[in-house]
Amino acid sequence: MDTGIRTDRIEAVREIVSGMLEQVPDVSLRASGYVHIFGVADACVLLAMKRDEDIELAAVAGYLHDIATYTTGISADHARRGAGMARSILSRTGLFSEEEIKTVFSAIFYHSNKKEIHGPLDEILKDADVMQHCLFDPGYVSKKDRERFEGLCEEFGL
């Protein structure tokens, strides 16, 4: 069955991210990076499937969204810094068009701004980020994520 999804592009990004995480010297930060980044990428795929959006770009955005935080250990301004890193990484692969890179850049750039509404992929990444946090610790939903989490529960009939 041909789904039209280029898994080679997803796998290339996953390998790059894994390689970058392997270099993180702090074992706890590295482990947290794998759990969060891979969990968000999975949630991005699920949401993209449900919303009939681009599954590949959703997965790629998920894998790259917090790369700045986990590779530097610094979370300040990570969305902007991560968007720039993602642009560079995707350009170097030669597998993505400039338009696709701009779409992923936007999603990563805006993913911390959960109060405003942006493009479809931007919203998928924001929601996937919230989803992963809430699924990782189901007993705790932060005040800032509550509204989005409630919307996700409604969307999934929970």
Return the domain boundaries, the chain: 7-155
Residues 33 and 80: beta-carbon distance below 8 Å: no
Q: How confident is the model at residue 1 (pLDDT cuts 50, 70, 90)?
A: very low
Cβ count within 10 A of residue 138 = 7
What pLDDT score was predicted for residue 2? 46
In this prediction the pTM is 0.93
Residue 121 has pLDDT above 50, yes or no: yes
What pLDDT score was predicted for residue 84? 97
What pLDDT score was predicted for residue 140? 84
Q: What is the mean pLDDT of residues 51-55?
A: 96
Q: What is the mean pLDDT of residues 83-102?
A: 97
Q: Give the integer Cα–Cα distance in Å for 62 and 56.
A: 10
Fold of 7-155: Hypothetical protein af1432 (1.10.3210)
pLDDT digits (tens, 9 = 90+) for 61-76: 999 999 999 999 999 9
Q: What is the mean pLDDT of residues 8-35?
A: 96
